[in-house]
Amino acid sequence: MINRLLGLLSHDIGIDLGTANTLVYVRGKGIVINEPSVVAVNTKTKQVLAIGDEAKKMVGKTPASIVATRPLVDGVVSDFEVTEQMLKYFINKVHQESYSVFPRPRVVVGIPSGVTEVEKRAVEDAATNAGARQTFLIEEPMAAAIGSRLPIQDAAGSMIVDIGGGTTEVAIISLGGIVASRSLRVAGDELSDDIIQYAREEFNLQIGERTAENIKIAIGSACPLKDLTAVPMRGRDLVTGLPKEIMIEPDQVRQALARSVRDIVEAIKITIEETPPELVADIMERGIYLAGGGALLKGLDELITKETKMPVHVADDPLTAVGRGTGLVLEDLDALKEVLVPTQFGKIPR
């Protein structure tokens, strides 16, 4: 009873709990928070010092006693307590302007499609302990499809490829359910790691994650493109130990990314092979939709079109597709409750 009363003063929220970024959708308002999934912790006192944007600024610049870490690895909870603290921070931030002292919202959280029951339980418990009155889980490719406005409840096939920070989710959806899917632990973070590895092997240069990510965004591509020029790459020379700057060409970055891009394309092709032919016919007509930050990799849509012989579309604002999807489920829980993942208590929205 008390929970229900507190719920009246709370905003129902949808959370895209990503490896790289966390997005929060407030019912009736849209996406209000988009911050990095980074938490800075003092290892001596176990105190959380900063979360989100403030913690991201500390990455690679902290003393030994402070660790700026991501509590999610490959889309799943790796540090339960820190994830709980991060969720509590985001829930409280949403309710700062309301009169609710103890917010108890209903929460819809996106999870990768390949997670185990234990990993589902960890997300649900973290959200509940962070203050959620009820926690509902939805698979990320389903949320991405809803956020991309695909007709998921039709008796026709829709194909979504959600390339996030930690995982790539490929799914064929029909009649509100996932018919065939693959979850791949190769995504945006792996692409950045490829650039770090390439710099070390080819130039004896040690670069940081942020430098690699900036290069990936600036000139990273999946196929040869014009109008891309070399950019500076700064780091530490592994031979002398001194600072060093070199110019890296777009072709070199594409070469560094090639293996991971090939893995993503291969996962798409295998999923299509596992799909009933009637649904493949629908996808040939409608095309494949790309969502997530990885969808912004230059030339990726062209490469997938070439490899699959199907039209490929990048969703509107692909970075927020999963976040929007969790929110759209919240806006109409009764109509969309069938797309939710059964939780440990088998809760059904009321």
Residue with tokens 């209000």: 32
The predicted structure's pLDDT at residue 342? 75
* Dist CA 210 CA 192 (whole Å): 9
Q: What does the pLDDT average to over 30-59?
A: 85
Q: Regarding predicted confidence, which is higher, 5 or 138?
A: 138
The predicted structure's pLDDT at residue 347? 52
- Is pLDDT above 60 for 168? yes
- Per-residue exposure over 108-143, b if at least 16 CB sit within 10 Å of its own CB, e if not: bbbbbbbbeeebbebbbbbbbbbbbbbbbbbbbbbb
* Dist CA 298 CA 220 (whole Å): 7
Instruction: Give CATH 3.30.420.40 domain extents, the chain.
Output: 2-36+73-143+321-339, 155-186+263-317
Q: CB atoms < 10 A from the CB of 274, how many?
A: 11
Q: Regarding predicted confidence, which is higher, 204 or 44?
A: 204
- Is pLDDT above 80 for 6? no
The predicted structure's pLDDT at residue 311? 94
- Is pLDDT above 80 for 321? yes
- Average pLDDT of the chain to the nearest whole number: 86
Question: For the structural domain made of 188-256, what CATH number should be given?
Answer: 3.90.640.10
- Is pLDDT above 80 for 76? no
For strand 134-139 and strand 106-111, is the pairing parallel, antiparallel, or unpaired?
A: parallel
Question: For the structural domain made of 2-36+73-143+321-339, what CATH number should be given?
Answer: 3.30.420.40
Share above pLDDT 70 across residues of the chain, in percent, rounded to a whole number: 93
Q: Residue 110: pLDDT band by 50, 70, 90 thresholds?
A: confident
The predicted structure's pLDDT at residue 240? 92
Q: Residue 343: pLDDT band by 50, 70, 90 thresholds?
A: low
Q: What does the pLDDT average to over 160-177?
A: 91
Q: Residue 90: pLDDT band by 50, 70, 90 thresholds?
A: confident
Instruction: Give CATH 3.90.640.10 domain extents, the chain.
Output: 188-256
The predicted structure's pLDDT at residue 4? 52
The predicted structure's pLDDT at residue 98? 57
Question: For the structural domain made of 155-186+263-317, what CATH number should be given?
Answer: 3.30.420.40
Torsion sign (Cα): 229, 235, 239, 240:
positive
Share above pLDDT 90 across residues of the chain, in percent, rounded to a whole number: 42
Residue among 68, 75, 229, 84 nearest 141 (CA): 75
The predicted structure's pLDDT at residue 346? 45
Q: Residue 91: pLDDT band by 50, 70, 90 thresholds?
A: confident
Q: What does the pLDDT average to over 261-285?
A: 93
Q: Residue 97: pLDDT band by 50, 70, 90 thresholds?
A: low
The predicted structure's pLDDT at residue 159? 94
The predicted structure's pLDDT at residue 162? 93
- Is pLDDT above 60 for 280? yes
- Is pLDDT above 50 for 216? yes
- Is pLDDT above 80 for 349? no
Greatest mean pLDDT range, 140-154, 252-266, 330-344: 252-266
pTM score, whole prediction: 0.86
- Is pLDDT above 70 for 9? no
